[in-house]
Amino acid sequence: MLSKKSQYAFKALAYLATKYNQGPVLISEIAKKKKIPLKFLENILLELKKADILDSKKGKGGGYFLNKSPEKVKMATVIRLINGPIAMLPCVSLYFYERCKNCDEKHCGLHDMMLEVRDATLNIVENRTLKDLIV
Amino acid sequence: MLSKKSQYAFKALAYLATKYNQGPVLISEIAKKKKIPLKFLENILLELKKADILDSKKGKGGGYFLNKSPEKVKMATVIRLINGPIAMLPCVSLYFYERCKNCDEKHCGLHDMMLEVRDATLNIVENRTLKDLIV
DNA sequence: AAAATAGTCTATCGTCTTGGTAGGCTATTT
DNA sequence: AAATAGCCTACCAAGACGATAGACTATTTT
Protein backbone atom coordinates (compact mmCIF):
# COMPACT_ATOMS: atom_id res chain seq x y z
CA MET A 1 0.00 0.00 0.00
CA LEU A 2 1.11 3.55 -0.70
CA SER A 3 1.49 5.56 2.50
CA LYS A 4 -0.69 8.58 3.10
CA LYS A 5 2.42 10.65 2.60
CA SER A 6 2.77 9.25 -0.92
CA GLN A 7 -0.83 9.99 -1.71
CA TYR A 8 -0.38 13.55 -0.50
CA ALA A 9 2.77 13.85 -2.60
CA PHE A 10 0.94 12.75 -5.72
CA LYS A 11 -1.96 15.09 -5.08
CA ALA A 12 0.40 17.99 -4.60
CA LEU A 13 2.45 17.08 -7.66
CA ALA A 14 -0.66 16.68 -9.78
CA TYR A 15 -1.76 20.13 -8.68
CA LEU A 16 1.62 21.65 -9.47
CA ALA A 17 1.57 19.90 -12.82
CA THR A 18 -1.62 21.75 -13.76
CA LYS A 19 0.16 24.99 -12.86
CA TYR A 20 3.36 24.20 -14.70
CA ASN A 21 5.11 27.29 -16.07
CA GLN A 22 2.77 29.61 -14.25
CA GLY A 23 5.13 30.64 -11.47
CA PRO A 24 5.44 29.57 -7.83
CA VAL A 25 2.47 28.19 -5.91
CA LEU A 26 2.13 28.70 -2.15
CA ILE A 27 2.32 25.66 0.12
CA SER A 28 -0.78 26.98 1.81
CA GLU A 29 -2.66 27.09 -1.48
CA ILE A 30 -1.80 23.46 -2.23
CA ALA A 31 -2.66 22.43 1.32
CA LYS A 32 -6.04 24.13 1.13
CA LYS A 33 -7.02 23.00 -2.36
CA LYS A 34 -5.88 19.43 -1.81
CA LYS A 35 -6.84 19.20 1.85
CA ILE A 36 -3.41 18.19 3.08
CA PRO A 37 -2.16 19.10 6.60
CA LEU A 38 0.00 22.17 6.01
CA LYS A 39 3.05 21.30 8.08
CA PHE A 40 3.06 17.74 6.82
CA LEU A 41 2.93 19.03 3.27
CA GLU A 42 5.89 21.31 3.99
CA ASN A 43 8.04 18.25 4.76
CA ILE A 44 6.89 16.43 1.66
CA LEU A 45 7.56 19.33 -0.69
CA LEU A 46 10.96 19.88 0.83
CA GLU A 47 11.81 16.24 0.24
CA LEU A 48 10.68 16.53 -3.37
CA LYS A 49 12.80 19.62 -3.76
CA LYS A 50 15.89 17.88 -2.39
CA ALA A 51 15.29 15.18 -4.97
CA ASP A 52 15.27 17.85 -7.67
CA ILE A 53 11.69 17.22 -8.64
CA LEU A 54 10.54 20.57 -7.34
CA ASP A 55 12.19 23.93 -6.90
CA SER A 56 11.13 26.82 -4.70
CA LYS A 57 11.34 30.56 -4.25
CA LYS A 58 11.29 32.35 -0.92
CA GLY A 59 9.70 35.63 0.05
CA LYS A 60 6.70 37.40 -1.44
CA GLY A 61 5.63 35.88 -4.73
CA GLY A 62 7.42 32.70 -3.71
CA GLY A 63 6.27 29.12 -3.48
CA TYR A 64 6.91 25.76 -5.08
CA PHE A 65 6.96 24.75 -8.73
CA LEU A 66 7.93 21.78 -10.89
CA ASN A 67 11.58 21.74 -11.81
CA LYS A 68 10.89 20.07 -15.16
CA SER A 69 7.88 19.41 -17.30
CA PRO A 70 5.32 16.95 -15.91
CA GLU A 71 6.01 14.28 -18.52
CA LYS A 72 9.61 14.12 -17.40
CA VAL A 73 8.81 13.05 -13.84
CA LYS A 74 8.26 9.30 -13.71
CA MET A 75 5.81 7.81 -11.24
CA ALA A 76 8.40 5.22 -10.27
CA THR A 77 10.81 7.94 -9.15
CA VAL A 78 8.28 9.51 -6.82
CA ILE A 79 7.15 6.19 -5.38
CA ARG A 80 10.72 5.13 -4.61
CA LEU A 81 11.49 8.49 -3.03
CA ILE A 82 8.46 8.88 -0.82
CA ASN A 83 7.18 5.35 -0.37
CA GLY A 84 10.23 3.15 -0.73
CA PRO A 85 10.73 -0.08 -2.69
CA ILE A 86 8.32 -1.00 -5.47
CA ALA A 87 9.14 -4.70 -5.34
CA MET A 88 7.45 -7.00 -2.86
CA LEU A 89 10.70 -8.51 -1.62
CA PRO A 90 14.14 -7.00 -1.02
CA CYS A 91 15.72 -9.80 -3.06
CA VAL A 92 13.92 -8.69 -6.22
CA SER A 93 14.30 -4.96 -5.74
CA LEU A 94 16.41 -2.95 -8.18
CA TYR A 95 17.00 0.08 -5.99
CA PHE A 96 16.70 -1.46 -2.53
CA TYR A 97 18.21 -4.86 -3.16
CA GLU A 98 19.16 -7.12 -0.26
CA ARG A 99 20.25 -10.70 -0.52
CA CYS A 100 17.95 -13.37 0.91
CA LYS A 101 19.16 -15.09 4.02
CA ASN A 102 18.72 -18.87 4.05
CA CYS A 103 17.39 -18.96 0.52
CA ASP A 104 19.09 -19.53 -2.79
CA GLU A 105 17.77 -17.03 -5.33
CA LYS A 106 18.54 -19.40 -8.17
CA HIS A 107 16.15 -21.99 -6.77
CA CYS A 108 13.40 -20.03 -5.09
CA GLY A 109 9.90 -20.11 -6.49
CA LEU A 110 8.85 -17.11 -4.46
CA HIS A 111 11.75 -15.10 -5.83
CA ASP A 112 10.78 -15.91 -9.40
CA MET A 113 7.17 -15.02 -8.85
CA MET A 114 7.91 -11.74 -7.13
CA LEU A 115 10.29 -10.89 -9.94
CA GLU A 116 7.41 -11.24 -12.36
CA VAL A 117 5.21 -9.04 -10.20
CA ARG A 118 7.93 -6.43 -9.99
CA ASP A 119 8.39 -6.35 -13.75
CA ALA A 120 4.68 -6.08 -14.38
CA THR A 121 4.48 -3.17 -11.97
CA LEU A 122 7.58 -1.43 -13.27
CA ASN A 123 6.27 -1.73 -16.76
CA ILE A 124 3.51 0.60 -15.71
CA VAL A 125 5.06 3.01 -13.23
CA GLU A 126 8.28 3.49 -15.20
CA ASN A 127 6.26 4.50 -18.22
CA ARG A 128 3.81 6.86 -16.61
CA THR A 129 4.53 10.39 -15.49
CA LEU A 130 2.94 13.26 -13.63
CA LYS A 131 1.33 14.21 -16.92
CA ASP A 132 -0.80 11.09 -16.69
CA LEU A 133 -2.13 12.24 -13.35
CA ILE A 134 -3.93 15.12 -15.01
CA VAL A 135 -7.20 13.94 -16.45
CA MET B 1 6.75 -4.95 0.57
CA LEU B 2 5.71 -8.28 1.98
CA SER B 3 6.12 -8.44 5.75
CA LYS B 4 8.54 -10.86 7.31
CA LYS B 5 5.52 -12.75 8.55
CA SER B 6 4.38 -13.26 4.97
CA GLN B 7 7.78 -14.49 3.94
CA TYR B 8 7.78 -16.94 6.83
CA ALA B 9 4.29 -18.07 5.84
CA PHE B 10 5.37 -18.77 2.29
CA LYS B 11 8.47 -20.64 3.39
CA ALA B 12 6.42 -22.78 5.74
CA LEU B 13 3.74 -23.41 3.14
CA ALA B 14 6.33 -24.27 0.52
CA TYR B 15 7.82 -26.78 2.93
CA LEU B 16 4.44 -28.29 3.73
CA ALA B 17 3.71 -28.46 0.01
CA THR B 18 6.72 -30.69 -0.51
CA LYS B 19 5.35 -32.95 2.23
CA TYR B 20 1.82 -33.02 0.93
CA ASN B 21 0.02 -36.27 1.69
CA GLN B 22 2.81 -37.49 3.90
CA GLY B 23 1.13 -36.90 7.24
CA PRO B 24 1.49 -34.15 9.85
CA VAL B 25 4.69 -32.14 10.17
CA LEU B 26 5.84 -30.74 13.52
CA ILE B 27 5.95 -26.96 13.94
CA SER B 28 9.40 -27.43 15.40
CA GLU B 29 10.56 -29.26 12.28
CA ILE B 30 9.37 -26.45 10.01
CA ALA B 31 10.88 -23.84 12.31
CA LYS B 32 14.24 -25.59 12.31
CA LYS B 33 14.41 -26.39 8.61
CA LYS B 34 13.22 -22.99 7.50
CA LYS B 35 14.89 -20.99 10.27
CA ILE B 36 11.74 -19.35 11.53
CA PRO B 37 11.29 -18.34 15.21
CA LEU B 38 9.23 -21.14 16.68
CA LYS B 39 6.61 -19.22 18.61
CA PHE B 40 6.15 -16.76 15.80
CA LEU B 41 5.62 -19.64 13.41
CA GLU B 42 2.99 -21.07 15.75
CA ASN B 43 0.92 -17.92 15.31
CA ILE B 44 1.29 -17.98 11.57
CA LEU B 45 0.31 -21.61 11.17
CA LEU B 46 -2.68 -21.15 13.43
CA GLU B 47 -3.83 -18.25 11.28
CA LEU B 48 -3.45 -20.35 8.16
CA LYS B 49 -5.43 -23.10 9.81
CA LYS B 50 -8.26 -20.75 10.72
CA ALA B 51 -8.35 -19.71 7.09
CA ASP B 52 -8.73 -23.37 6.13
CA ILE B 53 -5.47 -23.51 4.27
CA LEU B 54 -3.90 -25.83 6.81
CA ASP B 55 -5.22 -28.43 9.19
CA SER B 56 -3.57 -29.91 12.26
CA LYS B 57 -3.49 -32.89 14.53
CA LYS B 58 -2.70 -32.81 18.26
CA GLY B 59 -0.76 -35.22 20.41
CA LYS B 60 1.98 -37.64 19.43
CA GLY B 61 2.31 -38.03 15.67
CA GLY B 62 0.56 -34.69 15.29
CA GLY B 63 1.55 -31.54 13.44
CA TYR B 64 0.40 -29.40 10.56
CA PHE B 65 -0.45 -30.33 6.98
CA LEU B 66 -2.00 -28.79 3.90
CA ASN B 67 -5.75 -29.01 3.84
CA LYS B 68 -5.87 -29.26 0.05
CA SER B 69 -3.42 -29.92 -2.71
CA PRO B 70 -0.76 -27.24 -3.29
CA GLU B 71 -2.12 -26.19 -6.69
CA LYS B 72 -5.43 -25.29 -5.08
CA VAL B 73 -3.98 -22.64 -2.77
CA LYS B 74 -3.63 -19.36 -4.64
CA MET B 75 -0.81 -16.96 -3.82
CA ALA B 76 -3.30 -14.10 -3.75
CA THR B 77 -5.26 -15.78 -0.96
CA VAL B 78 -2.22 -16.12 1.27
CA ILE B 79 -1.01 -12.58 0.60
CA ARG B 80 -4.40 -11.11 1.45
CA LEU B 81 -4.64 -13.18 4.61
CA ILE B 82 -1.19 -12.60 6.05
CA ASN B 83 -0.06 -9.37 4.41
CA GLY B 84 -3.25 -7.50 3.62
CA PRO B 85 -4.31 -5.62 0.49
CA ILE B 86 -2.59 -6.35 -2.79
CA ALA B 87 -3.59 -3.03 -4.37
CA MET B 88 -1.52 0.10 -3.78
CA LEU B 89 -4.53 2.21 -2.81
CA PRO B 90 -7.68 1.39 -0.85
CA CYS B 91 -9.82 2.88 -3.63
CA VAL B 92 -8.63 0.24 -6.11
CA SER B 93 -8.70 -2.72 -3.77
CA LEU B 94 -11.15 -5.54 -4.40
CA TYR B 95 -11.10 -7.05 -0.92
CA PHE B 96 -10.17 -4.01 1.20
CA TYR B 97 -11.99 -1.29 -0.72
CA GLU B 98 -12.42 2.16 0.79
CA ARG B 99 -13.76 5.20 -1.00
CA CYS B 100 -11.36 8.08 -1.60
CA LYS B 101 -11.99 11.19 0.42
CA ASN B 102 -11.78 14.45 -1.54
CA CYS B 103 -11.20 12.69 -4.82
CA ASP B 104 -13.58 11.64 -7.55
CA GLU B 105 -12.67 8.13 -8.70
CA LYS B 106 -14.15 8.82 -12.11
CA HIS B 107 -11.66 11.61 -12.72
CA CYS B 108 -8.53 10.60 -10.91
CA GLY B 109 -5.39 9.81 -12.86
CA LEU B 110 -3.78 8.14 -9.86
CA HIS B 111 -6.78 5.88 -9.42
CA ASP B 112 -6.63 4.75 -13.05
CA MET B 113 -2.93 4.08 -12.88
CA MET B 114 -3.11 2.11 -9.65
CA LEU B 115 -5.97 0.10 -11.10
CA GLU B 116 -3.68 -0.95 -13.91
CA VAL B 117 -0.97 -1.91 -11.43
CA ARG B 118 -3.42 -3.90 -9.41
CA ASP B 119 -4.66 -5.82 -12.44
CA ALA B 120 -1.14 -6.56 -13.61
CA THR B 121 -0.29 -7.90 -10.16
CA LEU B 122 -3.48 -9.90 -9.74
CA ASN B 123 -2.94 -11.43 -13.13
CA ILE B 124 0.10 -13.09 -11.64
CA VAL B 125 -0.77 -13.85 -8.04
CA GLU B 126 -4.29 -15.08 -8.80
CA ASN B 127 -2.89 -17.57 -11.27
CA ARG B 128 -0.03 -18.94 -9.24
CA THR B 129 -0.29 -21.39 -6.37
CA LEU B 130 1.82 -23.04 -3.71
CA LYS B 131 2.77 -25.59 -6.34
CA ASP B 132 4.71 -22.87 -8.14
CA LEU B 133 6.77 -22.31 -5.02
CA ILE B 134 8.36 -25.72 -5.36
CA VAL B 135 11.19 -25.58 -7.83
C1' DA C 1 16.83 49.53 7.50
C1' DA C 2 12.65 47.50 8.99
C1' DA C 3 8.76 44.74 8.21
C1' DA C 4 6.46 41.30 5.96
C1' DT C 5 6.48 37.14 3.41
C1' DA C 6 7.37 32.38 2.67
C1' DG C 7 10.26 28.52 2.58
C1' DT C 8 13.83 25.62 5.80
C1' DC C 9 15.22 23.02 9.53
C1' DT C 10 15.12 20.34 13.86
C1' DA C 11 12.70 18.23 17.19
C1' DT C 12 8.97 16.10 19.22
C1' DC C 13 4.76 13.36 19.97
C1' DG C 14 0.99 9.93 20.16
C1' DT C 15 -0.54 5.82 17.99
C1' DC C 16 -0.25 1.74 15.41
C1' DT C 17 2.23 -2.09 13.36
C1' DT C 18 5.77 -5.39 13.35
C1' DG C 19 8.47 -9.04 15.01
C1' DG C 20 8.98 -11.76 18.68
C1' DT C 21 8.37 -14.01 23.48
C1' DA C 22 6.12 -16.31 27.61
C1' DG C 23 3.33 -19.36 29.79
C1' DG C 24 -0.48 -21.79 30.71
C1' DC C 25 -4.44 -24.62 28.58
C1' DT C 26 -6.52 -28.36 25.94
C1' DA C 27 -6.83 -32.33 23.15
C1' DT C 28 -4.83 -36.74 21.80
C1' DT C 29 -2.19 -40.58 22.20
C1' DT C 30 0.54 -44.20 24.64
C1' DA D 1 -1.71 -40.87 34.23
C1' DA D 2 2.01 -39.24 31.57
C1' DA D 3 3.74 -37.50 27.53
C1' DT D 4 3.10 -35.12 23.34
C1' DA D 5 1.90 -31.26 20.55
C1' DG D 6 -1.03 -27.84 19.10
C1' DC D 7 -4.15 -23.67 21.06
C1' DC D 8 -4.85 -19.41 23.25
C1' DT D 9 -4.08 -15.02 25.60
C1' DA D 10 -1.22 -11.68 26.87
C1' DC D 11 2.59 -8.95 26.57
C1' DC D 12 6.68 -6.22 25.02
C1' DA D 13 10.36 -3.44 22.51
C1' DA D 14 11.42 -1.02 18.46
C1' DG D 15 10.25 1.34 14.68
C1' DA D 16 7.08 3.49 11.25
C1' DC D 17 3.48 6.70 10.41
C1' DG D 18 0.92 10.84 10.52
C1' DA D 19 1.11 15.08 12.32
C1' DT D 20 2.57 19.37 14.86
C1' DA D 21 5.56 23.19 16.93
C1' DG D 22 8.65 26.67 16.76
C1' DA D 23 12.56 28.94 15.65
C1' DC D 24 15.56 30.31 11.61
C1' DT D 25 16.84 32.10 7.01
C1' DA D 26 16.31 34.21 2.59
C1' DT D 27 13.81 37.48 -0.28
C1' DT D 28 10.98 41.21 -1.31
C1' DT D 29 8.51 45.47 -0.35
C1' DT D 30 7.96 49.78 1.99
Q: Which of B1, B88, B113 sits opposite A85 (nearest CB)?
A: B1
How far apart are the CA of A41 and the nearest CA of chain B, in angstroms?
Answer: 16
Which chain B residues touch A if contact means CB-CB below 8 Å? 1-2, 7, 10-11, 14, 34-35, 75, 84-85, 87-90, 101-103, 107-110, 112-114, 116-117, 120-121, 123-125, 128, 132-135
Q: Which nucleotides of D are covered by protein (CB under 7 A)?
A: 3-10, 17-22, 25-29
Residue A39 has pLDDT above 80, yes or no: yes
- Beta bridge partner(s), residue A57: A63
Confidence of residue A83 (pLDDT cuts 50, 70, 90): very high
Nearest to A133 by CA among A11, A19, A3: A11
How far apart are the CA of B59 and the nearest CA of chain A, in angstroms?
Answer: 30
Residue B102 has pLDDT above 80, yes or no: no
pLDDT, residue B118, reads 98
- SS percent in chain A: helix, strand, coil, step 5: 55, 10, 35
Mutate to test the interface with B, among A1, A5, A10, A95 (most CBs of B within 10 A): A1
pLDDT, residue A135, reads 80
- Burial of residue B73 (CB within 10 Å: 0-12, 13-18, 19+) is buried
Q: What CA–CA distance (Å, rounded) separates B91 from B96?
A: 8
Q: Which domains does chain B have, with CATH numbers?
A: 4-66 (1.10.10.10), 72-133 (no CATH)
For residues A58-82, average pLDDT: 97
Q: Do B117 and A125 touch (CB under 8 A)?
A: yes
**End-to-end CA distance of chain B, in Å?**
23
Q: Dihedral through CA A89, CA A93, CA A95, CA A98, nearest 10?
A: 60
Output b/e per residue, A12-24; b: 16+ Cβ within 10 A: bbbbbbebeeeeb
Q: Which of A102, A124, A132 sits opposite B120 (nearest CB)?
A: A124
